[in-house]
Amino acid sequence: MLDKILQWDRDLFVFLNNLSDGRYDGFWILVTNIATWIPLYVLFICLLFLKFPKKEAWYKFLTLLGMVIFVTTLTYLVKISVERLRPNNTEEINQLIRILHSPTDFSFFSGHASFSFSVAILMVLFMKKKIKWALFFLIWPVLFASSRIFVGVHFPLDIIVGALVGGVSGFLAYRIYGRFIAPGIGSARP
């Protein structure tokens, strides 16, 4: 069963990766770069401090930071435990795909997906009552995570599992904040 799932994952990756004919390579390289999104990270931090009292904003920011450290550590530990090769390093398919980026670490699960979905979900939950358009924050992780397929470095299951781990982490961080942190600082539950 696992072999069939992994074969499906490889076949789907090859199909999706080859959808591009090269016209959008620059776009995907830009989107996959973490530094491209620095203005968005700054916006998130600014929104926390603009929309909440200073003390509450600091605690929300520290919750966000703690979650990022947790997700990054979890992603790293899973990658070194599972040791799944990235598509660009997999000999059976690397001649069939477009490779725009060549990392050498392991693939499962996607750190781009887990990081971006965790941050976006937590920010949506923090901001849903303050900003009507907070759901638009979810465009970022979808683009960011999808780019990993088009640059040739993650299989679809890497992205799906990373997104699920990130989404669950964001939700749990929100619940932890609401249950344990918000009451301690005298703020209303989020």
Residue 159 burial (10 A CB sphere; 0-12, 13-18, 19+): buried
Is the pLDDT confidence value at 188 over 80? no
Within a domain: residue 9? no
Helix (H, G, I), strand (E, B) or coil at 81: helix
Structure tokens at 75: 């992603």
Residue 114: inside a domain: yes
Residue 1 covered by a domain? no
Q: Do the domain assignments include residue 24?
A: no
What's the pLDDT at 126? 98
Consecutive H or E run containing 76: helix 54-82
Domain of residue 71: give its range. 43-185
Query: Distance between CA 120 and CA 135 in Å, rounded?
Result: 9
**Has residue 69 been placed in a domain?**
yes
Could you tell me if residue 140 is inside a domain?
yes
Question: pLDDT tens digits, residue range 12-47?
Answer: 999 999 997 889 999 999 999 999 999 999 999 999
| pTM listed for this prediction | 0.94
User: Is residue 50's pLDDT more than 90?
Assistant: yes
Domain count, the chain: 1
- Provide mean pLDDT across the span 121-129: 97
Residue 189 pLDDT class (50, 70, 90 cuts): low
Instruction: State pLDDT tens for residues 102-115.
Output: 888 999 999 999 99
Q: Determine, yes or no, domain membership for 11.
A: no
The whole-number pLDDT of residue 20 equals 79
Q: What is the pLDDT of residue 151?
A: 94
Q: What is the pLDDT of residue 95?
A: 87
Give yes or no for a contact between 40 and 140, defined as CB atoms under 8 angstroms apart: yes
pLDDT of residue 57: 97
pLDDT band at 99 (very low <50, low <70, confident <90, very high): confident
The answer to whether residue 21 is domain-embedded is: no
